[in-house]
Structure 1
Amino acid sequence: MSNLEQIEAAILSLPSSEFEKLRLWFLDLDYERWDEQIEQDIEDGKLEALAQEAIAEFEAGHCREI
């Protein structure tokens, strides 16, 4: 049995309250990693073209208040 299969089996055997704690912990971890990836993408300039496009749209008046 692989590590992943062992983890899956352990998760399936958790009582509801512990499963909920694990689920929230996993969501928090996922959000943290996503934030880190976005920050790295910004640092690497990967979002520069999108930012420039958004600025150009704004300056051209193609925006509205939400």
Structure 2
Amino acid sequence: MTQLLQQVWDKLIILPEERQESIALLILEEIQDEIQWAKQFENSKDKLTSIAKKVRRDINEGRIQKKGFGNI
């Protein structure tokens, strides 16, 4: 456990149980959100790699034109 997390823990355990529960739920939701994002990114990595390769190929073959905001 990191020092910061230990400090949080030490302060958390002196709070009323109801407040501990609400903070624990917030932390748990944040962790679950991180896990979900990691899974989504991992599942889309091959597709993103494929898209990046296609874009590089299009650039190298001259199918992409550089334009500024005034040209859109």
- TM-score using structure 1 length: 0.58
Query: Which stretches of structure 1, 4 residues or more, deviate above 4 A after TM superposition?
Result: none
Cα RMSD (Å) = 1.2
Deviations 1:9-65 (A, max 9, x none): 1111111010010111111111110110001101113xxxxxxxxxxxxxxxxxxxx
| Distance across 2 between alignment mates of 1:9 and 1:30 | 20
2:26 alignment partner AA:
W
Q: Which ranges in structure 2 are unaligned for 5 or more consecutive residues?
A: 47-72
- TM-score using structure 2 length: 0.54
* Larger of the two Rg values belongs to structure: 2
Sequence identity percentage: 16
